[in-house]
Amino acid sequence: MNILITGGTGFLGTHLTNALIEKGHHTYILTRSPDKHTDTGNTFFISYDYPVKELPVIHAVVNLAGESLFGYWTLTKKEAIRTSRIETTRQVIHMMKQMKTKPDVFISGSAVGFYGTSEDRIFTEKTAEPGDDFLAEVVTEWEKTAKEAESLGVRTVLTRFGIMLGKEGALPLMKLPVKLFAGGKVGSGEQWISWVHVKDAAGLVQFCLFNNTISGPVNVTAPNPKRNKDFINVLAHVLRRPDWLPVPSFPVRIVLGEMSLLILNGQCVLPQKANDAHYAFSYPSLKAALAETEQ
């Protein structure tokens, strides 16, 4: 298959691209800076203004691009978070509209932030009502934009990613205080962390690519979410460090501002569609997932 990917040079995108190449697929990576990359036999780096008519038939499109959520959420940062997701999705759909032969499937990245936050609710793909915070608003608009692909007759999947664990991403930041013997629960410790190992994140994207019965929202999370206090306890055990020093909510809010909701709030999200479709998680256990990142 020929697969067009945005965000293909990022944390998840790199894992996904490598996995697809290993299976003999050809990947076309949309990037703002194609000159910074070197094409290989199966991977080609192209700009967003690349002439669509010069592409081969594209069988699938995967949209993973978006400004990082990390950083103090100034008005400028929040606008970058929003526009990077919405505008890139619009650009990709515009490209699909120009394709004489439409892709079979469009997988558009999304986030569990759709659900808002809660300490007691359990969210699955059947939860239709979005949350009411900034991230939920962004994700709702993001998914609405992506659904425009359905009008082209393209099967559309909205992959709602949880916190991805691997050697990059959020985990190195989460590990640091624990490694420095300053780790402990953050805030109340009761907030949920819906996590997924990056190998399973890439695996679930592929599962959705090649399973034509799957469409709509798909939660890309492991089947065993953890509360913050339990997540840190397992992390400390894997790192062979104590977890005796809790971090109060107040200084986190002061230092991080509105972005602190990523740390102090959470949601318990279950991958119901993946379970129903019998996806076999490589890392259903948090301990095993964390241990792999230390290898």
Quickly state the pLDDT bin for 255 (edges 50, 70, 90): confident
- Strand pairing report for 163-165 and 195-197: parallel
Measured CA to CA, the distance from residue 214 to residue 216 in angstroms comes to 7
Of the candidates 191, 201, 194, 193, the one whose C-alpha atom is nearest the C-alpha of residue 166 is 201
Q: What is the pTM of this model?
A: 0.96
CA angle 219, 26, 29 (to 5 degrees): 70
Tell me the pLDDT band of 243, cut-offs 50, 70 and 90. very high
Task: Give the model's pLDDT for residue 2.
Answer: 98
Q: Which of 2-6, 36-40, 54-58 has the lowest mean pLDDT?
A: 36-40
> Could you tell me the domains of the chain?
2-293 (3.40.50.720)
Residue 70, pLDDT score: 87
Neighbours of 77 (CB within 10 A): 18
pLDDT value, residue 295: 87
Strands of the chain (E only): list them: 2-6, 26-30, 43-46, 60-63, 105-111, 122-123, 155-161, 163-165, 192-193, 195-197, 216-220, 226-227, 268-269
Distance CA 129, CA 126 (A): 9
Q: Name which of 60, 48, 134 is nearest 102 in CA terms.
A: 60
Residue-level pLDDT at 82: 96
Q: Are 68 and 42 in contact (CB under 8 A)?
A: no
Q: Where are the alpha helices (DSSP H) in 180-257?
A: 198-210, 228-239, 249-256
161: amino acid identity, one letter: F
pLDDT band at 57 (very low <50, low <70, confident <90, very high): very high
Query: Is the pLDDT assigned to residue 87 strictly greater than 90?
Result: yes
pLDDT score for 292 = 97
Q: How far apart are CA 162 and CA 159, in angstroms?
A: 10
**pLDDT tens digits, 181-205:** 888 999 999 999 999 999 999 999 9
Percent of the chain whose predicted confidence (pLDDT) is above 90: 94
Rounded distance, CA 136 to CA 94, Å? 25
